[in-house]
Chains A and B, each alone.
Chain A
Amino acid sequence: MAVLQTERPVRRPPARTSHRRQFTGRTALVLLAFMLPAIVFVALFTYYPLLNGIQMAFRNYNLNDLSDTSWVGLKNFRTLLHDDMFRGTVKNSVVWVVGSLVPQFLIGFTMALWLRRKFRFRGTYQALVFFPWAVSGFLIGILFRWMFNGEFGVVNDLLMKAHLIDTPVPWLADAKYAMVAVIVANVWYGVTFFAIMILAALQSVPDELYEAAAIDGAGKVRTLFGITIPSIRTTLALTVLLRVIWIFNSPELIFGMTGGGPANATHTVTSYMIQVTQEGDYGRASAMGVMVVFVLILFAIFYLLAIRPRTPRTTARKVAG
């Protein structure tokens, strides 16, 4: 699960909750004792392996042969960049992220707009469509693996009943179709997240804005692009960013559904990384991990720069320049 940083949708009365006063040495000790367990756990089991993993990326570290774990500089990175398999997974990752994100966003946005207006059983409806959240990507993968089964899968059966196909499609056995199938599963899995985040943001848009637009005679489309989207711009942008990172980082569904196959057609960078880890080549796996984190950080920085609200000053400078 990702951490979400969005505007707070629920208004609440301001309450004085923070002790801004000085606290004594004794209190400081008590507070330190409160913080310590959390810090120790996170430092030992999260940060230590993470930092240790970084140095492994520059070593020849293979669990199957630990006789030589010498420093090899950038060799692991070079090997990867010349590895056709790795390049294939980079391409697959891009297809996987973009192919999942765009439909998730569009369907989730539409659902949120539909859900904005109150109706009877709206709460029940939300609880029902919420259920994919409770299920792991791995199990979703297994569910869809069964549904996309080439011989006895329900997807083929339904498509044939609808006369969209004549013969069963070997979805997960054919490299041509496998990526489509995993993306369909992932879209299904992620729509709810968008719907809920965007709905929360929509509910923070004051009704007066819509009333004013209605009085000015703005149509549905103009209201959507003139009021709704600009008002929740920040949430939309951050939700998309978190989602990109999350989709990129979640190979569980792929593991459950195809295991990266057939013929590596659905292996993404992260699912390949886990496979390499399981094979014991920790040096190369760590190099991939370092690259993943590096690329994601770069992406996040550029993305945040691109979406930051333009102040009049920068616009003026642009005009002048």
Chain B
Amino acid sequence: MIRSETLAGRIARFGGLGICLLFTVFPLYWILVTSFKAPGTIFAYPLKYWPGDFSLENYRGLFSQSNFAVFLVNSLIVSTVAAALSTVISLLSAYVLARFEFVSKGAVMGAFLVTQMIPGFIALGSLYILMTKLYLVDSRWGLVLVYVAVSIPLCTVMLRGFFENVPASLEEAAMVDGCSRLSALFRVLVPVMTPGLAASYIFNFVNCWNELFLSVTLLNSDNNKTIPAALNGFISSYNIDWGSMSAAAVLSIVPTMVLFAFASRYIVEGLTAGAVKE
């Protein structure tokens, strides 16, 4: 330990941390409380900091008055598939970049890292034109392809970091025993790397689930919209129905929070260590 701490110092430290925690958690608490209030009581003074009679009316209203079930399913499909595809593709590229030296390696890594500095929405217009030419506008599968492309660079960098914790002798031994490189990768390395892979998958999933501008631009019919694209429509209306809005917000935040809680340790490790120095 660094130096002994006075009682006053201890109180200040835990008091400070307590206030930070309160501030961090409050907005989430507030949207939860709002979503469980009976519709009339949201706009009643004085404000209630506890829902009192707990009501699911806002959730019922959300599903009956909008296509929220469809949006939810669309978000699930798009995020699940895009995260799976990008994790598998990144696994292959991360393996090559972690294990081998070749001439254009620096260029590939550089090209991947540059995409992280430039926001994905900077070329929204020309992406839209490209997708029109490919007949992929207003298609969930088109959005999946774009999300895969957006996820690959960071996922590759993260997985590359995880590969470096696994000795190469592992797959070498498997290959001496007659495995092909691909089956050595999937049969020997993947089982060892499960935590890292799961974290990468969750990270990709959450990013796709949350993505706004690409989905707003590329999807326009209600049958194809994901949750963020739909919410963007909700808030554009003059009078926001905060009852169903709060329910929608809770339903889109909670899944990602649960997933993140499982993976946060690995994600922090992957991110803080990920961009391995050349």
Question: Taking beta carbons and an 8 Å cutoff, which residues of A are in contact with B?
Answer: 1-6, 8-10, 12, 15-20, 23, 27-28, 30-31, 34-35, 37-39, 41-42, 44-50, 52-53, 56, 61, 63, 107, 110-111, 114-117, 119, 125, 127-140, 142-147, 149, 151-152, 154, 157, 188, 191-192, 196-197, 200, 207, 210-211, 214, 245, 249-250, 252, 255-256, 259, 270, 273-274, 277-278, 282, 285-286, 289, 292-293, 296, 300
Q: Is the CB of B152 within 8 A of A277?
A: no
A-B contact pairs, 9 of them (CB 8 A): A41-B149, A50-B118, A56-B125, A117-B5, A119-B14, A135-B257, A136-B209, A154-B47, A278-B216
Q: Is the CB of B16 within 8 A of A110?
A: yes
| Beta-carbon nearest neighbor of A280 in chain B | B125
Q: Given A5-B275, A142-B231, A296-B117, do A135 and B210 touch, yes or no (CB 8 Å)?
A: yes
How near does chain A come to B39, taking the closest CB pair, in angstroms? 13
Mask: chain B, 239-266; 1 = CB below 8 Å from A; 0 = not = 0001001100100110011011100100
Does B8 touch A at the CB level, under 8 Å? no
Q: Is the CB of A143 within 8 A of B249?
A: yes
Which residues of chain B (1-44) have a CB below 8 Å from chain A?
A: 1-3, 5, 13-14, 16-17, 20-21, 23-25, 27-28, 30-31, 34, 42-43
Q: Which residues of A contact B182 (CB under 8 A)?
A: 30
Q: Given A45-B150, A255-B212, do A133 and B260 touch, yes or no (CB 8 Å)?
A: yes
Q: Given A18-B100, A107-B20, A130-B260, do A42 and B115 touch, yes or no (CB 8 Å)?
A: yes
Does B62 touch A at the CB level, under 8 Å? no
Q: Given A207-B2, A255-B232, do A38 and B89 touch, yes or no (CB 8 Å)?
A: yes
Q: Is the CB of A49 within 8 A of B127?
A: yes
Q: Is the CB of B98 within 8 A of A17?
A: yes
How distant is the Cα of A276 from the Cα of B93 in the complex, in angstroms?
36
Which residues of chain B (161-204) have a CB below 8 Å from chain A?
A: 163-169, 181-182, 203
How near does chain B come to A261, taking the closest CB pair, in angstroms? 11
How near does chain A come to B247, taking the closest CB pair, in angstroms? 12
How near does chain A come to B126, taking the closest CB pair, in angstroms? 4
Q: Is the CB of A285 within 8 A of B124?
A: yes
Q: Is the CB of A146 within 8 A of B122?
A: no
How near does chain B come to A109, taking the closest CB pair, in angstroms? 12
Does B111 touch A at the CB level, under 8 Å? yes
Q: Is the CB of B166 within 8 A of A17?
A: yes
Q: Is the CB of B24 within 8 A of A128?
A: yes
Q: Which residues of A contact B89 (CB under 8 A)?
A: 37-38, 41
How distant is the Cα of A286 from the Cα of B124 in the complex, in angstroms?
9
Q: Is the CB of A200 within 8 A of B95?
A: no
Using A9-B273, A30-B182, A277-B121 as known contacts, list a sample of 13 further A-B pairs with CB atoms less than 8 Å apart, ordered by residue number in A.
A2-B116, A15-B164, A17-B167, A38-B90, A107-B20, A127-B264, A129-B21, A136-B212, A139-B252, A143-B249, A146-B246, A147-B30, A252-B213
How near does chain A come to B261, taking the closest CB pair, in angstroms? 6
Which one of A35, A56, A138 contacts B210 once the chains associate, using CB atoms below 8 Å? A138
Q: Is the CB of A23 within 8 A of B245?
A: no
How near does chain B come to A224, taking the closest CB pair, in angstroms? 12
Which one of A116, A138, A151 contacts B231 once the chains associate, using CB atoms below 8 Å? A138
Q: Is the CB of A42 within 8 A of B111?
A: yes
Q: Is the CB of A15 within 8 A of B20?
A: no
Q: Which residues of A contact B228 (CB under 8 A)?
A: 136, 138-139
Which one of A10, A37, A134, A207 contacts B92 once the chains associate, using CB atoms below 8 Å? A37
Chain B interface residue count, Cβ-Cβ cutoff 8 angstroms: 107
Q: Is the CB of B272 within 8 A of A20?
A: no
How distant is the Cα of A207 from the Cα of B2 in the complex, in angstroms?
7
Q: Which residues of A contact B118 (CB under 8 A)?
A: 50, 293
Which residues of chain B (96-110) have a CB below 8 Å from chain A?
A: 96, 98-102, 108
Does B274 touch A at the CB level, under 8 Å? yes
| Beta-carbon nearest neighbor of B206 in chain A | A134
Which one of B13, B46, B122 contacts A53 once the chains associate, using CB atoms below 8 Å? B122
How near does chain B come to A119, taking the closest CB pair, in angstroms? 8
Q: Given A35-B96, A142-B235, A277-B217, do A131 and B260 touch, yes or no (CB 8 Å)?
A: yes
Max count, chain A CB within 10 A of own CB: residue among B1, B23, B27: B27
How near does chain A come to B116, taking the closest CB pair, in angstroms? 4
Q: Is the CB of B210 within 8 A of A139?
A: yes
Which one of A15, A135, A188, A255 contacts B256 once the chains associate, using CB atoms below 8 Å? A135
Q: Is the CB of A274 within 8 A of B149?
A: no
Does B271 touch A at the CB level, under 8 Å? yes
Q: Is the CB of B34 within 8 A of A146?
A: yes
Q: Is the CB of B93 within 8 A of A35?
A: yes
Which one of B46, B245, B275, B277 contacts A142 once the chains associate, using CB atoms below 8 Å? B245
How distant is the Cα of A136 from the Cα of B122 in the complex, in angstroms?
18
Q: Given A3-B275, A17-B167, A135-B253, do A34 and B119 touch, yes or no (CB 8 Å)?
A: no
Q: Which residues of A contact B24 (CB under 8 A)?
A: 128-129, 131-132, 188, 191-192
